[in-house]
Structure 1
Amino acid sequence: MGTVARWARAEWGPLYATVREPLLNRRLRALPMTLAAVCLTACLQYVQNRPWGFQPVQDLGAVRAEDPLWPALLRTPLSLFVPALDLPVWGALAQILLVFGIAELCLGWWRTLVIAYVATLAGTLYARVGITLGPHAPFGLPWADAQVVDTGPSAAVVGLAVFVSWRYGAHLTAGAVTVAMVVEVLVKENLAGKEHLAALMAVGVLCLAVALRYGHGPRRSLRWPRRAQRRPGSRAGRGSGLPPIQS
């Protein structure tokens, strides 16, 4: 048991410490974006299962590879929160609450949304490329997949899970998520599984860009650095991009 505890502390200790402090101090007030995302997903699920609501949700938030590109790009942000019709909505809500919540506490709400959008957009664009390549190409897709609705929140959840795990040194967790997505494609080769892999590749590129930008790989840390207090006439607190983790 001591070995398991030491492994868990090494794997998730920095992440746990980062999440614990704002939750203890602010509780649910620390998760405004995540709670809004959960409520929006639940609302869209209710509406799309009503006879009067299905088509409006499809028109505003359903993305297919056969759709014209620019309307599809306009729908992509809302498509993050449109759950699949053939899966239990509680699974999607639990994933958003857990993964988006941890990401919001660690990265902030706007970085969380940016990474979620990058992951979802990667899957959306891959579907178009795969359909163009055709079913016989190594990374191609059958023509029937052009009419399949994109993954909804799942690609964003996968991307955020891997990015946060990498950023806080939980390498085994990031690897386990990646392996699970590969196994998903091998066991059940479908559009959703391949879009998850496309999301993982996009997030991998994002991780590399962050490492190159700050001149280091992932480090273990207890928390993100606090924003410096600005003084009159001072430029302290200004900055852009993802702040480096202090060690």
Structure 2
Amino acid sequence: MRTLARWARAEWGLLYVTVRDPLLKHRWRVTPMTLTVVCLTALLQFVQNRPWGYQIVQETGAVRAQDPLGLALLRTPLSLFVPALDLPVWGALAQILFVFGIAEVCLGWWRTLAIAYVATLAGTLFARLGIALGAHAPFGLPWTDAQVVDTGPSAAVVGLAVYVSWRYGAYVTAGAVTMSMVVEVLLKENLAGKEHLAALMGVGTLCLLAAVRHRHQWPPWRRQWRSGRRTGRGSGLPPIQS
């Protein structure tokens, strides 16, 4: 039990402290963008399930590989918040609240949105490439997938989860999320699964660029964490009981 507790402290300690302090002090006032995104996603789900609203959402926020690229890029910002019709919306809202909320506290609202859009755009562009390659290519997709609506918030959620985990030293968590997406594709080879992998590749590129930028020194967030442990300030977590 103590070994598991030590592992949890090492894996999530820095992330826990980073998120805990602002939330304790300001509550949900530190995540205005996340709350806005949750409300917008819920609103779009309500609208697209109404006879008068389905076509509105389709024309403004549904992206398919068969659409002209310019039109798809115009719809991409809103497509991030359009939940899948065949999945429970409460699951999507819970994922957004949890992952976007943590990311907003750790990264700020504009970096969170930027990374979310990189992940979503990577999936959107991959769908076009995969269909161009064809179903028999290693990373190809059948032509019928050109008519399937791209993944909504899920690609952004996956990308943000991996980026925040990597940045704050939760490498096992980042690897576990990545492996779960690989398993998803192996078990159920569909457009959404492959778009999730493309989103991870896009976010992985951001991680690589950040690592190169800090190649001569520990990133500040890691250096402060290590310094705090050496000087005895601790992580702010409850002590491990014997």
TM-score over 0.5 for the pair: yes
After superposition, the CA RMSD in angstroms is 1.2
C-alpha separation in 2, matches of 1:222 and 1:90: 37
The residue aligned with 1:220 is: 222
- Residues of 1 paired with 2:224 and 2:52: CA distance? 49
**Alignment match, 1:202:** 202
Give the number of equivalent residue pairs. Answer: 223
User: Greater helix percent: which structure?
Assistant: 2
Aligned to 2:84: 84
Match of 1:129, SS state, is helix
Q: Quick one: percent identity of the two aligned structures?
A: 78
Q: CA separation in 2, counterparts of 1:3 and 1:177?
A: 22
Q: Residue 61 in 1 paired to residue 87 in 2?
A: no
Distance 1:87 1:192 in 2: 12
1:222 offset after TM fit, Å? Answer: 6.4
Q: Secondary structure at the match of 1:114?
A: helix
Q: Name the residue aligned to 1:143.
A: 143
> How far 1:2 moved relative to its partner?
1.0
1:112 equivalenced with 2:112 (yes/no): yes
> Take 1:135 and 1:35, find their aligned partners in 2: how far apart are those partners?
40
CA contact (8 A) 1:14 1:222 kept: no
SS in 2 for 1:81: coil
| 1:2 match | 2
Whether the 8 Å contact between 1:18 and 1:222 is mirrored in structure 2 is no
Render the CA deviation track for 1:208-229: whole Å, top value 9, x for unaligned. 1011123356663668xxxxxx
1:22 matched to which residue of 2?
Answer: 22
Shift in CA distance, 221/170, structure 1 to aligned 2, threshold 3 Å: farther
SS state at 1:151 partner: coil
Aligned to 1:180: 180
Counterpart position of 2:43: 43
Structure 2: 5+ residue stretches without partners? 226-242
Deviations, residues 146-174 of structure 1 (Å, cap 9, x unaligned):
00000000000000000000000000000
Superposed, 1:119-138 pairs within 5 Å as 119-138=119-138
Change (3 A) 1:222 1:160: farther
Paired amino acid for 1:82:
V
SS across alignment from 1:220: helix
**Structure-2 separation of matches of 1:64 and 1:146:** 6
TM-score with structure 1 setting the length: 0.88
Runs of 4+ with >2 A deviation: 214-223
CA distance in 1, matches of 2:224, 2:151: 33
TM-score, with length taken from structure 2: 0.90
